[in-house]
Amino acid sequence: MCSIVGYKGRFDAVLLKKIFDNSRARGLHSFGYSFEKDGAIETKRFLDYNEFLSSIFSSKPALFIAHFRYATSGDYQNEDNNQPITFQNKSIAFNGVISQRSREGMEREFGVELPHDNDGFVLIQKMNNDEFVRGDKIAFAYVGIEEGKLVAQRNARRPLWQWSADGVVAFCSTKDIFVRSGVESAREVKPYEKFVI
């Protein structure tokens, strides 16, 4: 299940508290966010929701991605299984399934080397490969940070919604998250529509 949030613009604490609280319904087990600091991506993960809130509200990043995990496979107590994941110069938070194989099986199937068992490490390395993204055996929606930009995309198997106003751009997993947070004008991201903001 899980929930993802992508955000760029002035840090609106009131709106974001609502978005985070409403995203939590889709992910109760771990919480994390990535943001840029001094030209590098910093990623923080928490098992405690209040620690997540305290950290992100202290940082107040103008560009970040966040993940709310609902654990279905992989022990969420092991931080390596939680998101966002960061690899080289980018970070992503995603909802979906790329593969249920072992790390070795995924490496053989997709021709990549994986630092951990998380299938998101396949997606982060292949997210700019159109043939991979349009593959019929994967399901994903992601938000990410790449080269100082907020990026987002989904295929037809996972939801993603987008809203923008007054210089702020936000992505959430579902329309309900936005509506319950007081945002009525969000729109559904079309399958394979890619954002680089």
Q: What is the pLDDT of residue 119?
A: 87
Work out the average pLDDT over 5-18.
97
In this prediction, residues 129-148 reach a mean pLDDT of 95
- Pull the structure tokens for residue 16: 């974001």
Count CA atoms closer than 13 A to 98's CA, side-chain side.
Answer: 25
Q: What is the arithmetic mean of pLDDT over 86-109? A: 91
Which tokens in the block code for residue 195? Answer: 């954002």
Q: φ, ψ for residue 68 (rounded to 5)? A: -120, 110
Task: Return the pLDDT at 114.
Answer: 86
Q: Is the pLDDT of residue 81 over 80?
A: no
Contacts of 155 (CB under 8 A, 6+ apart): 96, 133, 134, 138, 139, 140, 141, 191, 192
Q: Identify the residue with better confidence: 1 or 28.
A: 1
* pLDDT tens by residue, 166-183: 999 999 999 999 999 999
Q: Return phi, psi of residue 191, to 5°.
A: -55, 130
**pLDDT tens by residue, 117-132:** 788 899 999 999 999 9
- Alpha-carbon distance values, 9 to 76, 111, 158 (Å): 30, 37, 25
**How confident is residue 75, by pLDDT bands cut at 50, 70 and 90?**
low
Phi–psi pair at 12, nearest 5 degrees: -100, 95
Handedness of CA 61, 64, 70, 72 (dihedral sign): negative
Q: Is the pLDDT of residue 35 over 70?
A: yes
Q: Which domain holds residue 39?
A: 3-196
Q: Provide the CA 87 distance to its chain's centre, in angstroms.
A: 14
Domain total in the chain: 1
Closest CA to 69 of 99, 31, 35, 100: 31
pLDDT attached to residue 78: 63
Rounded to the nearest angstrom, the gap between the alpha carbon of residue 56 and the centroid of all alpha carbons in its chain is 15
- Per-residue pLDDT for 73 more than 60? no
Q: List the CATH number of the domain containing 84.
A: 3.60.20.10
